[in-house]
Amino acid sequence: MSNAREQILQTTCTLLEKQGYHGTGLNEIVKESHAPKGSLYYYFPDGKEQITAEAVLQSGKDTAERIRMGLSESGSASKAVSDFVLKVADHVELSGFAAGSPLTTVAMETATQSERINLACREAYGMLQSAFNEKLLECGFAKAKADELATFVVASIEGGIILSRTSHTANPLRLVAKQLKVLLS
């Protein structure tokens, strides 16, 4: 991947996380990424929808890797997941409640508007679920139970992010961490 392409995707992820799909324009992506405008159309000939779909997938890959790294810090699924969610809570709080995930914002805004972006969101959420699923399987959960719990964990974190950003307190995410620790014990 080229540096200009990477910069455009990273900038798009940041802007989508802060202000969503509808609040992010192509001119702003070009300006903030410091990439030549021609690069945007060269690498993303289908425009904003393509950039967004690829940014969502990149965000999913990056987040899944952060999840795996975070979960590797403890042998216990309950402690590993709880600690990870507490880190998310701190991140959201330190950002002034502007951060969380570009995936959360984009999925809510575009669920019924763009099949391309919706498919990218589904794939990205699948990556997150797989990362949690791997840890749960490693810790001895049966496959069917691990599949259900991985979905529940991702849904809980996403809901916690939305509530934390809305209420300007990380307490919903901290509650998610506490309850997931109990559930996974």
| Total domains present in the chain | 1
Mean pLDDT score, 33-60:
92
Does a structural domain hold residue 123? yes
Q: What is the pTM of this model?
A: 0.90
DSSP 163: H
Q: What is the pLDDT of residues 92-151, one digit of tens each?
A: 999 889 888 788 889 888 878 889 999 999 999 999 999 999 999 999 999 999 999 999
Q: Is residue 5 part of a domain?
A: no
Contact (Cβ atoms closer than 8 angstroms) between residue 125 and residue 103: yes
- Give the residue numbers spanning the domain of 180: 55-184
CATH number of the structural domain spanning residue 165? 1.10.357.10
- 114 backbone dihedrals φ, ψ, rounded to 5°: -140, 115
In this predicted structure, the answer to whether residue 2 has a pLDDT above a threshold of 80 is: no
7 in a domain, yes or no? no
In a domain, 27, yes or no: no
Q: For residue 112, tell me if it sits in a domain.
A: yes
φ, ψ at 168 (rounded to 5°): 55, 45
pLDDT 10s digits, 61-70: 999 999 999 9
- Say if 180 falls within a structural domain: yes
- Mean pLDDT of the chain, nearest integer: 93
CA atoms within 13 A on the CB side of 140: 5
Query: Which helix H or strand E contains 22, and what residues bound it?
Result: none
